[in-house]
Structure 1
Amino acid sequence: MVICKLLRTFSPFATVILRKEHKIIFSAPFLPKRLCVMDSRSPELNSVPKVDIDPEGVFKYILLNVHTADAEAEGASVTILRGYKRCNYHSDIYDEVQEKLKPLDCEPLGGGRISHEPKEKKIHIYGYSQGYGKADHEVAAKLIKDAYPGYKITISDEGY
């Protein structure tokens, strides 16, 4: 099984617990959460980090839906978050991510801003993108909370 081999590359201790439909639930002692879910229809999607943001500062972010162009894996997708100070516009983030993710396809779901204070272990999500509209800050907060355990995550619809 391809997924088992993929898991074993991460850890020889990874164990597949249940296979239901196209989801694989596995145990991996090297991860913060012991139980994880992978979509067996697309190993490429499983290798895409869910969150990639700058280590500190205030910057724009976007949520993206990433999916394969493969008809066999139709319906397989993942939501990711990207935010970088170096990008002046939300569309700059999209262009950069789209190029990095090839051959996968992606579409923007909305944007906003993030204030990341690593010393205080705080991340504040707020605002909107003029080009893509407001991202679902609740979804962004969940993704960030999973990537930054121990951080205080707050959201607001105020501000640009």
Structure 2
Amino acid sequence: MADLLHKVTDVEIDPDGKFKYILVRVKVKNGTDHKDIVRGTKSAEYHNHIFEKVNPAMEALGLECSCLGGGKIEHNSKEKKLRVFGESTGYGKADHAVTVEKLKLVFKDYEITWSDDKK
């Protein structure tokens, strides 16, 4: 069952711009194995719109998920920079330090920073 988690990508974010993101804990139903994933997109007006897309996709794989919080990401692909900040009104602030560690796995040659700034 744990190999189900390996099928889920750690990070899926837009290639450029400033957008909302959520940190999601995905786990095997009736199990203890889990992993945290980052999802973010400009197309989401609110953080829950991202979760409303992630949750059914995970359920289809036989996984369940819960939102650990949210914030914003500023992605500058030309300068290879990512900035994580802010919080979600509905879900609260994600642990940006965890988010940054996930981003570092994918964006190895990027400068990645985070702060508790709102903007």
Q: In which range does the TM-score fall when normalised by the shorter chain? A: over 0.9
In structure 1, the residue matched to 2:107 is 148
Aligned to 1:98: 55
- Who is 1:54 aligned against? 14
Is residue 123 from structure 1 mapped to residue 89 from structure 2 by the alignment? no
Partner residue, 1:45:
5
Q: Give the aligned residue type for 1:48.
A: V
Secondary structure at the counterpart of residue 5 of structure 2: helix
Deviations 1:76-103 (A, max 9, x none): 0000000011011100000100111122
- Give the alignment partner of residue 23 of structure 2, picking from 46, 63, 87: 63
Corresponding residue SS for 1:87? coil
Deviations 1:112-140 (A, max 9, x none): 00000000000000000000000000000
Distance 1:68 1:42 in 2: 7
Amino acid corresponding to residue 52 of structure 1 in structure 2? E
- Backbone CA RMSD of aligned residues: 0.9
Instruction: Pick the aligned partner of 1:80 from 20, 23, 37.
Output: 37
Aligned: 1:139 with 2:93 = no
Greater Cα radius of gyration, structure 1 or 2: 1
Deviations 1:24-76 (A, max 9, x none): xxxxxxxxxxxxxxxxx51111110000000000000000000111x3xx210
Report percent identity of matched pairs: 42
Q: Does 1:159 align with 2:118?
A: yes
Give me the whole-angstrom Cα distance separating, in 2, the residues matched to 1:45 and 1:146. Answer: 16
Per the alignment, residue 107 of structure 1 pairs with: 66
Q: Give the TM-score normalised by the residue count of structure 2.
A: 0.95
Residue segments in structure 1 that go unaligned for 5+ positions in a row: 1-40
Tell me how many residue pairs correspond in the alignment.
Answer: 117
Which aligned segments of 4 or more residues in structure 1 are displaced greater than 2 angstroms?
none
